[in-house]
Every structure is written in structure tokens, then in C-alpha cells.
Chains A and B, each alone.
Chain A
């Protein structure tokens, strides 16, 4: 692994976008046995050519038409319609909010996948087509059989394999709890990553009104408004970027902010998501919003107390936290399991339902 160092720094300019540090790269990984140090890393890494041997990637390298034709082999008439995100040409492929953030700048439609593929090819010749995106669509549901010819043995429990199909789209920086291995199989993608700590420099938007489930950065990365978002210059200093072609993959660790830009008329990505923790642990975002509701607006001295309580039981919890309680009596302070998670969720639902 080697790193390309940051080039110059100084006043933020458009050149910053060109000078962003590259994501570390690793070549020659055996796709059938990816090393654990990659899949459990807390640093992103680009794996060039990892899935170059996939029939899908070969079709993607040939042309958009061949890629679409290859996909069509797996499209089933009885598959459910795909959810398509569609935006007018004016948005330049950037799915986000309207100006006031009172609504989104796109709409969603249910369209059979075969129709989406035709539509994308039809628009490929056009100068400024509408932005079209089929995001995170479960492979085994919509394209059964695809993975028999195009898959990775990750040796992980139950990864979720999804496909993403679209034209020139730009997905604002957001983060996911699962680790992510994303493989470009058609078109090209520019991946811009920021470490989790860049939260406050990315100007993240609303938490409870989001384009696709996750809060997004309000900064337009291709034309950053540094007057409105001055700290974004600092985020850029920590950014890492890579451009991926068919067969290339990137490992995005849990909670890394990622901006995904598709660069061609026809782009396909296959990704794997998995959690290092059991699924019943659910997303921490609900707990965060509950804490905003119940803690944030307390008088500062009381908020400080709760900060200590959360540190004690959650963020700094360790063996000493419940060592003084007999093992059988630790309840939620002991190891959590699925039954406790179910009981706790029921308790929360009841509480929220009053």
C-alpha cells in the first residue's frame, strides 16, 4: 500500500478539488480470498481490477449496450418494479433538496428494470438528459442468477449485495453504518471520501428529512460555496479521492462520508454491505434523535450530567461498568442479545406512542 501525499494547501480554490489526496491502492488481491486487513480496516482502500474478471465488468468495458444486454439476461418479467430516482436536467445529476430544503429536487417512480435500461440507453445520445438512478437494489431479488456469475467470496456473515444503475449522477456525501465494498462494473465513478471526524466541516443537513435515509452534506462538491460553507476547505484537506473504472473496487469503512459521482452515460455499481455488529443492534441514529429530543435542550449543567451518564454506560463502557453486579442480574448492562433488543424496542414503541 502506498499513499500519494497531499499537494499544496492554502486558500480554498477549485484547484483544491484537483489536489485532494488519493485513496490508498492495493493491487493483486485475490478476489476469492480478500485479506481480513482490508475488510476490517478503518481506512479506505482502492482495489484495482478486483472484479475485472466478472462477465459483467467485461461487458461494461466493451460498451453501455453490452453492459445493458448482459444485465437484461437476468431481468425477470415477474420481478417487482425497481424504484427509480428521477431528476430534471437542471439538477446536473445532483439528487438533493430544493433551494429552501422544503422538498427534494427529484421524484421517485416504480419502473420495471428492463424499461429503465432501455431508457438509459435512449438518453445516452442526448446532451442534457434527466438524471436517472436506480439505487441500492437487492441483486438476488431483481436480478436472480447474476451473482452466480459475478460475486465475491467475502467470508463474511450475510453481506447484502446490491446493484446501482444510472447515468451521470452525483450523490452528496453521506455515511452508512455498515462497511462497504463497492465495485464499479460499467461506466466510471469518482469516489470522494472524508473521515468520520469531518462531520462538522461537511455541513450535514437535516437528520429527519433526508433524500434517501441518510443525512447528506449540503455542499455541492463540484462548485463549493466557500462563503456559505467555509469549513468545507478543512474537510477537503482531509478528503481522499479515487476514480474507478469497470472492475475496480473501493472499500469504504463504516461511517466514512462518501460522495459518489457517476461519470458516464451508463454506470453500474455492485456493492456489498455488512456490519461488524449484529443486525438487531439497529441504527444508532434513532438513539441520537431521541437524545436530541430529551437531552440537548436541558440546562447546560444537567446536560453535562447526562453526558457523563452516557459516557459511563455507552461510550466509555467497559468491563468495570457492570463488574459489581452479579452476572445473572446485569440486564441491559450485561451482554445484549436479540431478545433484549426486541423487548427494548417494544418498550420504546410504547413510550413513544403515548
Chain B
């Protein structure tokens, strides 16, 4: 079903300077694959040699850091997910010394049914200081969060993130399956306040989709885009694009960069969404329609008219926001919520 032959490929760009990634990539509204952009990284070269060599290279930067690890039994075949009735998870999170995890992965690298081991989004500068001196990309004025992901074979269910994302496969191979943000409904996204790793995920098992239970997933697949990346290849995933990621080798390492082009004080819209679920969703239909109109007016389709009738100095949240104004608004909302 999900073969590279039947699904649309992600557009590829070549000839990009890794020391100065251009806005045509970092500001793209569409996903892009950048082949070989990190081919010169020492980690990529070590990984081409062997898992052992990749492990040894990483250990050069090891300073006793403890990292969060997902541990799953061989039966889950690397699909970190919920348990049968979604009352729990099919893996256990643990805190383990990074060198121990690396050695375990190398030890099982050729095993047929290894336990599933996954170190997700770990800050590079914390866990492997100085690694980026020789293994990095140029983001110019942007100041992204750089993270490392280390695992054996795994399948991470489709989810999305608020920041834009540039992800480089350094060791192993990875298959990316992306969906545009508007595929929310067709992906059968699960619980939003109980999630395996912070973000809500698709309940569809991509390896064997249950179309009887998830019929609209066929429509999602029609919009899917795929790419298989090897060592040194990178992918740009725009904000809020759904992504399903498979790691295909006995040892896989990914380095990714996340950044937002909006100020930090804007925070995540998820809390507003949760609060709206609580305060708006279950209103009588007519009241809910009125609130939809108010959100349209003030949030989703504001125009010059929205606050033009209020003197500039008195617009408060209806005027432009900045860090100071948001601090005031937070204090105001705290008082209102804290009754």
C-alpha cells in the first residue's frame, strides 16, 4: 500500500549551500528533500562505515548525560503506540545514560527481533556538547533548537509539530510520509490530552491500515507525499504538516532543527484550543455558532476594521501584541481563571 511507487514523492532540491540555507527552503510552505546536504559531516561518514563507528564517534562528545529513552518489547516491532484499549502505552519511558543506550543499540544492530529502543528529541548541546562544531548546518539569523534522535528500527505514528522542522538523516535510513495540515480528519487523530510523546497521533497503523475502521484514510493517502532518506539527506517539514517516520536500519541517528518564525510569547495555540473545547464545544448549537462568529471576527479573520474604532492607545489585546502586552494579558487571564 505505502510503497514509494504509489505515493507522490516529495519535491527535491539540489545545490543548496549547507552553511547558508536559503529562505526558499526555510520559509517554504511545501515539504522539500535536500539530498546530501550533510554528506560531509563526520558522523555521516562514520555511520557509512558501521554502527560501531557511528557509536564511537558520538561517544567522543559524551559527558555522562542521561537521556529519555522509550523501551518497547520486540513484539511492538518498533511501533511506539498506545496499548490495546488506549488506556496506556505499549512501551516504557526510562532515563538512562546515553552511552548505555548507544551500546545496547549497537549490540542489537544485527538482531532479528531486538527490543525497540528510541531516544527522541534530545537537545544536542546538552547531551553531546561540541558535537555541532563539526556537524551542523547554517541557519543565518534563525536560532533553531538542535536535537538528536537515536534508535533502532522504529515507526513513529503520524503527528505534527508547531515549529518548522529541518531533519537530517545522519546514520541509517528513514522513510518519511507527510500529509498536508488539512488532513486532520482523514488521519483519525487520537486523544489530545493523553499522548505517547506530547503530540496527538494518528491511530492508523500505516503498515496495515484498517480501512474498515478508518475509511477516510484512503483520502489522506491520496494527499500523502513520501521520501526515503539515507545518510546525509535532509527533509524540510513545514509547520503543522503531519509526518509519519520509519527508521529502517539496525541503528539510526537523526539530527533535527526546529524553529518558529513567530515570537516566543505567542506560545502554543493548543491551550486556547483545549479551553475552547471546555467552554464552547458543548454550548447549545446557537450559542456555539455565535462563538464561532466571534472567533472568526477577532481571531481567524481579523482585519483593519476589527479595532479601527478604538483609539490606538486603548486597543489592548485588540491592538498589536508584544511581550509586555502579553505579560499583562497573561496576568489578566490568570486572575480570571483563578477564581
A-B complex is real: yes
**Is the beta-carbon distance between B338 and A317 smaller than 8 angstroms?**
no
Q: Does A1 contact B (CB under 8 A)?
A: no
Q: Does B60 contact A (CB under 8 A)?
A: no
Q: Does B213 contact A (CB under 8 A)?
A: yes
Q: Does A292 contact B (CB under 8 A)?
A: yes
Q: Does A126 contact B (CB under 8 A)?
A: no
Docked complex Cα distance between A335 and B278 (Å) = 10
**Is the beta-carbon distance between B279 and A324 smaller than 8 angstroms?**
no
Q: Does B21 contact A (CB under 8 A)?
A: no
Docked complex Cα distance between A344 and B315 (Å) = 29
Q: How large is the interface on B (under 10, 10 to 19, 20 to 34, 35 or more residues)?
A: 35 or more
Known contacts A208-B317, A341-B278, A349-B334: A310-B273 contact under CB 8 Å: yes
Binds B, one of A30-38, A240-248, A326-334: A326-334
Q: Does A226 contact B (CB under 8 A)?
A: no
Q: In the assembled complex, how far is the CB of residue A78 from the closest CB belonging to chain B, in whole angstroms? A: 25
Taken residue by residue from 245 to 275, chain B's Cβ proximity to chain A (1 for < 8 Å, 0 otherwise) reads as: 0000000000000000110001111011111
Q: Does A277 contact B (CB under 8 A)?
A: yes
Q: Which of B269, B287, B337 contacts A254 (CB 8 A)?
A: B287
For B326, the closest partner residue in chain A by CB is A293
Residues of B within 8 A of A42 (CB): 286
Closest 5 CB pairs of A and B: A329-B86, A101-B314, A290-B272, A287-B275, A291-B272
Q: Which of B29, B191, B337 contacts A330 (CB 8 A)?
A: B191
Residues of A within 8 A of B289 (CB): 315
Q: In the assembled complex, how far is the CB of residue A329 from the closest CB belonging to chain B, in whole angstroms? A: 3
Docked complex Cα distance between A256 and B308 (Å) = 23
**Is the beta-carbon distance between A331 and B309 smaller than 8 angstroms?**
no
- The binding surface of chain A is classed by DSSP as helix
**Is the beta-carbon distance between B287 and A288 smaller than 8 angstroms?**
no
**Is the beta-carbon distance between A336 and B277 smaller than 8 angstroms?**
yes
**Is the beta-carbon distance between A276 and B86 smaller than 8 angstroms?**
no
**Is the beta-carbon distance between A349 and B314 smaller than 8 angstroms?**
no
**Is the beta-carbon distance between B309 and A218 smaller than 8 angstroms?**
yes
Known contacts A296-B302, A315-B288: A329-B280 contact under CB 8 Å: no
Interface residues of B (CB under 8 A from A): 29, 82, 85-87, 181-182, 184-185, 188, 190-194, 203, 213-214, 239-240, 261-262, 266-269, 271-284, 286-300, 302, 305-306, 309-311, 313-318, 320-321, 326, 328-330, 332-334, 336-338
**Is the beta-carbon distance between A328 and B271 smaller than 8 angstroms?**
no
**Is the beta-carbon distance between B266 and A348 smaller than 8 angstroms?**
no
Best-buried of A97, A100, A295, A301 by chain B (most CB within 10 Å): A295
Docked complex Cα distance between A255 and B337 (Å) = 21
Q: In the assembled complex, how far is the CB of residue A2 from the closest CB belonging to chain B, in whole angstroms? A: 23
Number of interface residues of A (CB under 8 A): 79
For A254, the closest partner residue in chain B by CB is B287
Taken residue by residue from 250 to 289, chain A's Cβ proximity to chain B (1 for < 8 Å, 0 otherwise) reads as: 0001110000000000000000000011000111101111
Docked complex Cα distance between A284 and B213 (Å) = 34
Residues of B within 8 A of A345 (CB): 337
Known: A199-B294, A308-B182. 7 other contacts (CB 8 A): A203-B309, A209-B316, A254-B286, A317-B277, A326-B86, A335-B282, A351-B267
For B265, the closest partner residue in chain A by CB is A293
**Is the beta-carbon distance between B203 and A293 smaller than 8 angstroms?**
no
**Is the beta-carbon distance between B185 and A315 smaller than 8 angstroms?**
no
**Is the beta-carbon distance between A287 and B317 smaller than 8 angstroms?**
no
**Is the beta-carbon distance between A287 and B276 smaller than 8 angstroms?**
yes
Docked complex Cα distance between A295 and B273 (Å) = 10
**Is the beta-carbon distance between B313 and A102 smaller than 8 angstroms?**
yes
Q: Which of B261, B273, B280, B315 contacts A284 (CB 8 A)?
A: B280
Q: Which of A197, A291, A326 contacts B299 (CB 8 A)?
A: A291
Residues of A within 8 A of B286 (CB): 42, 253-254
**Is the beta-carbon distance between B269 and A282 smaller than 8 angstroms?**
no
Q: Does A325 contact B (CB under 8 A)?
A: yes
**Is the beta-carbon distance between A284 and B317 smaller than 8 angstroms?**
no
**Is the beta-carbon distance between A312 and B283 smaller than 8 angstroms?**
no
**Is the beta-carbon distance between B269 and A297 smaller than 8 angstroms?**
no
**Is the beta-carbon distance between B279 and A292 smaller than 8 angstroms?**
no
Q: Does A302 contact B (CB under 8 A)?
A: yes
Docked complex Cα distance between A84 and B309 (Å) = 29
**Is the beta-carbon distance between B279 and A348 smaller than 8 angstroms?**
no
Q: Does A10 contact B (CB under 8 A)?
A: no
**Is the beta-carbon distance between B281 and A314 smaller than 8 angstroms?**
yes
Residues of B within 8 A of A207 (CB): 298, 316-318
Residues of A within 8 A of B336 (CB): 283, 286
Q: In the assembled complex, how far is the CB of residue B183 from the closest CB belonging to chain A, in whole angstroms? A: 10
**Is the beta-carbon distance between A312 and B266 smaller than 8 angstroms?**
no
**Is the beta-carbon distance between A294 and B272 smaller than 8 angstroms?**
yes
Q: In the assembled complex, how far is the CB of residue A99 from the closest CB belonging to chain B, in whole angstroms? A: 8
**Is the beta-carbon distance between B310 and A206 smaller than 8 angstroms?**
yes
Docked complex Cα distance between A329 and B191 (Å) = 7
Docked complex Cα distance between A288 and B314 (Å) = 19
**Is the beta-carbon distance between B278 and A282 smaller than 8 angstroms?**
yes
Q: Does A157 contact B (CB under 8 A)?
A: no
**CB<8 Å pairs between A and B, sample of 19:** A100-B313, A102-B314, A199-B294, A276-B287, A286-B336, A287-B272, A287-B278, A289-B329, A293-B317, A294-B272, A305-B181, A310-B276, A312-B185, A324-B203, A324-B214, A329-B87, A329-B191, A329-B194, A330-B191
Residues of B within 8 A of A312 (CB): 184-185
Q: In the assembled complex, how far is the CB of residue B8 from the closest CB belonging to chain A, in whole angstroms? A: 20
**Is the beta-carbon distance between B193 and A290 smaller than 8 angstroms?**
no
